[in-house]
Amino acid sequence: MKYIDEFRDGELARALAQRIADEADPGRDYRLMEFCGGHTHAIFRYGVQDLMPANLRFVHGPGCPVCVLPMARIDQAIAMALEHEVTLCTYGDLMRVPASERKSLLKAKADGADIRMIYSTQDALAAARSAPERQVVLFAIGFETTTPPTAVAIKAARAEGLENFSVFCNHVLTPAALGTILASAGGGQDPGQGADRGAGAQGEAGVQLDGILGPSHVSTVIGSRPYEFVPSTFGKPVVIAGFEPLDVMQSALMLIRQINEGRREVENQYRRAVTRDGNRKAQALMAEVFAPRETFEWRGLGFLPNSALRIADAYADLDAEQRFPVTPRTSREIKGCECPSVLRGVMEPTDCKLFGTVCTPENPMGACMVSSEGACAAYWSYGRFRAPVAGPAVGASQETASAARASQDSAVGV
């Protein structure tokens, strides 16, 4: 395939949907977690779920870096901006995420804090260069995908001698979260077992899963190798999936085949971008500039060991947490917000009593409604809170399946 339209071809999508319906065993259920929020939006934007048989369900995972950031870290950033009067630079999605007492970075900006929206780490460096009298802090977040650009910014600041630039590091690691989700469902040893997971995750049963759609962009950096613990420890198949609708559908078919055949492997559907070993240059850069944190809090998952990065000792002078210390606070979710449960896959956005009533994109109660990768935002943007069109049952005749899919074409968008 050469062009992006080919990954959204309607005829190919219908052919794949029929193959999935033919191969799905009507006597069992298939619960496939798409870890990445980008997959969630692709599934709903293009109506992929509507093309699946009734016994195949996509379960939404915690693959939204804005969503998994706990309120306490946003509180800490706001305190840093107000108490130390720094210029705080961060990305647009994070600006409106509610923190404690429904305060946000945007509201703190309205109260007089110098908080600026940026599009890249280079914008934060430019802000530091243009105002040497101001301390500029980059509020860095994201999974392994966005970690190398932060490392580049830190090294650039060191090379240029930018003494007014530092980083508030909130980069987190995908495999740790995946391991915790699978351990909560039982059937394996959690790599982080024994750590304090926080009140939001303790004592709650996890979602039952049959397979994992592995993240796309994260895997271009770390490769497919880090997910090999999933089949070996938890007995679940993994398919690294691309972001386009045909990628997701082909990956679902690959998982169905693994499940039906009793195989438990890591397969790579996204071979045009992902290798087993990933981007070793980016990995070496990350290893130089960052070091593992002993523990870090995730919204919905609690405190997980070795699940996040801090700035390495060699670059400690560029660590905003050391340069501008503030008193840490305990995270407390807004009453009634089910964002933590949505992130664990145990609830859908429409199960939350606040969804679409009190909580809307204009008045968000949780990060899942704010972020461009949040599950609640996907449900809202693509109308999934409305009555769905019933899909064809597994084993339905070709005529019935064709008629049902024809009625869905306008919603499918492929």
The structural domains of the chain, ordered by start, are 26-63+176-268 (3.40.50.11750), 67-172+308-323 (3.40.50.11740), 339-381 (no CATH)
**End-to-end CA distance of the chain, in Å?**
16
Helices (H), 84-114: 92-95, 105-110
For 371-384, letters b (16+ CB in 10 Å) and e give bebbbbbbbbebeb
Helices (H) and strands (E) in the chain, counts: 18, 13
pLDDT above 70: residue 149: yes
The per-residue pLDDT for range 117-143, each reduced to its tens digit, is: 999 999 999 999 999 999 999 999 999
Place 207 in a pLDDT band, splitting at 50, 70 and 90: confident
Backbone angles phi, psi at 375, to 5 degrees: -65, -40
CB count in 10 Å sphere of residue 189: 12
Instruction: Give the pLDDT of residue 351.
Output: 93
Q: Where does the pLDDT of residue 401 fall: very low under 50, low under 70, confident under 90, or very high at 90 and above?
A: very low
What residues contact 2, with CB distance under 8 A and at least 6 apart? none
Q: What is the pLDDT of residue 4?
A: 73
* Residue range 25-43: mean pLDDT, rounded: 94
Chain length of the chain: 414
Over residues 216-242, mean pLDDT: 97
Question: Hey, what's the torsion of the CAs at 337, 341, 343, 346, to 10 degrees?
Answer: -140
The pLDDT of residue 12 is 92
What is the rounded average pLDDT of the residues 341-368?
Answer: 92
Angle at 311 between CA 118 and CA 151, to 5 degrees: 50
- Res. 6 pLDDT band, cuts 50 70 90: confident
Burial class (CB in 10 A: 0-12, 13-18, 19+), 362: exposed
* Backbone dihedral angles phi then psi of residue 161, each to the nearest 5 degrees: 70, 35
Q: Say how far apart CA 210 and CA 238 lie, in whole Å.
A: 9
- E-strand ranges in 1-76 read 30-36, 56-63
Q: Do residues 273 and 39 make contact, with C-beta atoms less than 8 angstroms apart?
A: no
pLDDT of the residue at 8: 84
> pLDDT value at position 186?
60
CA separation for the pair 137, 169 (Å, rounded): 10
pLDDT at 330: 81
**Nearest CA-CA partner of 314 in 281, 288, 292:** 288
What's the rounded Cα separation, in Å, for the pair 162 and 57? 50
b or e along 67-76 (b: 16 or more beta carbons within 10 Å of the residue's beta carbon)? bbbbbbbbbb
pLDDT band for 7, please (50, 70, 90 cuts).
confident
| Alpha carbons 361 and 384: distance in angstroms, whole number | 14
pLDDT at 193: 34
Q: Of the ranges 237-241, 242-246, 383-387, 404-408, which one carries the lowest mean pLDDT score?
A: 404-408
Query: What percent of the chain is predicted at pLDDT more than 70?
Result: 87
Arithmetic mean of pLDDT, 31-43: 93
Kindly compute the dihedral angle of the four CA atoms of residues 230, 234, 235, 240, in this order, to the nearest 10 degrees.
-20
Token duo for residue 142: 């994201």
- Would you state the pLDDT for residue 407? 34
pTM of the model: 0.86
Ranges 38-42, 74-78, 112-116, 380-384: which has the least confidence = 380-384
Residue 359 has pLDDT above 80, yes or no: yes
Torsion of CA 81, 199, 182, 251, to 10 degrees: -50
Q: What percent of the chain has pLDDT over 90?
A: 76
- Rounded to an integer, the average pLDDT of 278-293 is 98
Written as six digits, the tokens of 74 are: 């946003």
